[in-house]
Structures are given as structure tokens and as C-alpha cells.
Amino acid sequence: MEVLALLWLWALPAPALGGASLPELRLSAATGAVFVHELQREPFEEAFVAAREEDSAAVPVGPTTFHAHLGGRPDLPRWLRFAQRHPSAPAYLYGSPTDADAGTHSIEVLAYSRATYETVAQSVIVTVVPSPAGPPRYQGEFLVTDRDVEELLPAATRRRFAEAARGVWERRDLAIVNVTSALHRGARVPLPIEGRKEGVYVTVGSHGTFSQCLVAAASPQSRLRCRLGQQPVATCYDTFAPRFSIAWCNLSLLEVPVGSAAPAPVPGSGVLEEGGDFAPPTAAPAAPLLAGYLLTLLLPLLLAALLCLLLGHLMCCRRQGLQKRDKETPDIQLAHHRSVRGDAEELRRMAAARADVPRPLSTLPMFNVRTGQRAPPARGPPDAARRPLLPPQQ
């Protein structure tokens, strides 16, 4: 019910919510570099307190939950993601825009207090500017196994990771290009055990070539060692330790060609012209359905009828018959069969006639004539395997 209520709140403008709204916030993002913005709690909490009456000003704000979406739409741009682990954790907007995402994006941020159910809205305008130098030509992707995505988004953590990557790459112009959770790349959700993390893919890029250590870690010999369950051969493992745990078998190096860009959609079938309106067809042309009807309905019925005829022929027309069987059976076998059958009938009649005869004494328990005591038949000799090895001591 809470999710449905939030979806309804998203569809309404901020004045209709009856909650407060913060001034518009304008941010800038460059292509070829990661964009990270932490939603500050203080302005929203101050707006919560300012919107209350004087007698309820002492009520605590409580945990604050953030939600972000495009203005007038329920989702975010394809390059932008939102992360907040729980209501008391910080909330981040992060992503890596490309040249195709250049322009202005209006993001609506909605915050509500889980203690008083008050809401505060803010409009965040993100302007994506193409980088003059273009995307880094040489890019390397590292898998950090001991962190969650929101643990690598703070500026101080990203700065420490970039410094460690510069020591591996041996370049000073290194920059973080993208940060992606391993869950968004198809990894499994970790078990709720202390110390288990989801993992983060961090992409760093530079305009200089890869170092010898990275080339050795991604060589075919290292991939073979990884398939055998061994660590790849490299000399730069200690650069990240002990702050970051890197899965070196998941290292991937990419060289982006100069001037490469994602192809733009070609206007035509399925793609609207600039400023055009979609005109759906008024009526669909009539299609011949007789062949499909015959194939779908009559063919199974015909096969079922043929199977019924075959089964009826086998059961009714292929029976052997009693007279035919007796003609093909030798007389001595028939006489033996009749004698066995007659003897069996006679035994059944004799068994039915002796219903009132008392049971044999062998089937009755033992009876003492003098005392009148009944006892079960005597058992056999005791099992020698159950006798003790040593006689009991007196």
C-alpha cells in the first residue's frame, strides 16, 4: 500500500500534495566522467519543521525516504540511477552520461518523513555537457568485492580509489568513468550475513596506454590461471590492498576508438520524424483464416478419429475367441485343464462344507486338563548368539 501511495504522489505536482517545496537546484555533468550528487537531508528537514504548526514543532522528523523520477514520468533517464539503502542512509543520484545524453534533464526529488508522513519536493536540473577531450580512449573496469555501491559513491572514497588506480596505471590523468553495482550486471543478491557485499564495478579511464601490470593481469596466461582457480600473474596487487579488495580475474581492459559514438536512430519505419505525430491505422486488412482453421481444428480431429478406428479394430476384430482357441489347443492339454479345474471346484466345496468342524488341536494353545491353564506352544531352543559369554557371578 505504501508503494502505491508513493506512485500516486509521483503523479501529482508538488502544490497538489499540500507539502512544502524547496528552491530549484541546478547541477552540471560532463560526459566521460561519473556524476554523483548526494541529496542533503538538512534542507528537507528544515522544510519539514517550517511547515508545521507551533504546537507540533517539537515532533521529531524521523527517518527520511527519498524518491527521484523525471518530471511528469515515473522513471529516471537511462544513464542516471538512484540509491538509498534504508531511510536513515544517505541518498545518491549517480550515473555516467554519454554524448547521446547531452542536454537538460529535470529530476523531481520527493522526500517524506516516516514519522509524520510530511512531504517535501525539489526540482533538480541536471545539464549534461559534452567533454571537450571526449571519452577516455583507454578504460579499465575493476570489480570491488568488499563494498556496496553507496559505499563507493562518497567523494573521499572515490578519491582514494582513483589514487590507488593511478598507482596501478602509472598515469596522473586517470579519472573514474562509471560506478555500477554488480546487481545491475547480473550478480546475485548476497546473503544477509555480516560482511557480505554486493560488489561494485568501477570503470576508470585515461588517454594514456595501459601499464605493463594491467596488460599482464589481462593476458591469456592470466585468464588460464583464473580458470584453474589461481590468481593472475601481476606485480601491482598491493596498490589497492588493504582498502579495496579487487577481483583481478574480472579485470577487463577496453580501448575506445577515436571518434566512436553510438549510432543515432534513423527516421523511418518505427521511428517518428522530428515533431511528428503517431497516426495508428484505422482498420486492419482482412486476412485469410480458412487454412489456419483447418490446420488448427480439423487436423487434430482427423488424427483422433484414425486412432479410434485403429483401436476399435484391434479390440473387436482381432479377438481370438473361445471356440478358435479350443480348436487350436491339443486334446490332452484340454483334458488336463478340465481335471485341474474340477479338482479345484471340489476342494472349494469341501472347504465350504467343513465350516462347522472344530479347529485342529495343533492350531490351539496348550491346555492342562488338571489345572485348566492355557499356554502358548513351547518355543524352540534359545538363540546361542544371545547367551552371555561369561556366566553370571554368584
- In order, the DSSP letters of 271-292 are BPPTT------SSPPP---HHH
Residue 250 neighbours by CB under 8 Å, 6+ apart: 141, 142, 143
What are the beta bridge partners of residue 180?
201
Cβ-based burial of 72 (10 A; exposed 0-12, middle 13-18, buried ≥19): exposed
Report the pLDDT value the prediction gives residue 125, as an integer from 0 to 100.
Answer: 93
Report the pLDDT value the prediction gives residue 32, as an integer from 0 to 100.
Answer: 85
pTM of the model: 0.60
Alpha-carbon dihedral sign for residues 96, 99, 100, 104: positive
Domain 2-129 in CATH 3.40.50.1000? The answer is no
- Domain boundaries of the chain, sorted by first residue: 2-129, 138-255
Report the pLDDT value the prediction gives residue 27, as an integer from 0 to 100.
Answer: 93
Q: 60, 43, 68, 75: which is closest to 116 by C-alpha?
A: 60
Strand (E) or helix (H) holding 107? strand 103-113
Give the other-Cβ count within 10 Å of 149's Cβ. Answer: 24
Q: 93, 94, 89, 42: which is closest to 65 by C-alpha?
A: 89
Q: How far is Cα 205 from Cα 55, in angstroms, rounded to an integer?
A: 55
Q: What is the pLDDT along the chain (394 residues), one digit of tens a residue?
A: 444 444 444 444 444 344 678 889 999 999 888 999 999 888 888 888 776 655 455 556 678 899 999 988 888 999 999 999 888 899 999 999 988 888 999 999 999 888 888 889 999 999 999 888 778 889 999 999 989 999 999 999 999 999 998 888 888 888 899 999 999 888 888 887 887 889 999 999 988 888 888 888 888 888 898 888 888 877 777 788 788 888 888 898 988 876 555 455 555 556 666 666 767 777 777 888 888 888 899 889 999 999 999 998 888 877 767 777 778 888 888 888 889 988 999 888 887 777 666 666 556 666 565 666 666 655 555 555 555 555 666 5
Q: Sheet containing 175-181: give its strands across.
A: 175-181, 200-206, 138-144, 252-255
Integer CA distances (angstroms), 244 to 41, 89, 114, 192, 240, in order: 28, 22, 35, 21, 5
Q: Are 12 and 113 in contact (CB under 8 A)?
A: no
Q: How far is Cα 21 from Cα 120, in angstroms, rounded to an integer?
A: 5
Report the pLDDT value the prediction gives residue 108, as an integer from 0 to 100.
Answer: 94
Q: How far is Cα 168 from Cα 93, in angstroms, rounded to an integer?
A: 28
Q: Are 196 and 147 in contact (CB under 8 A)?
A: no
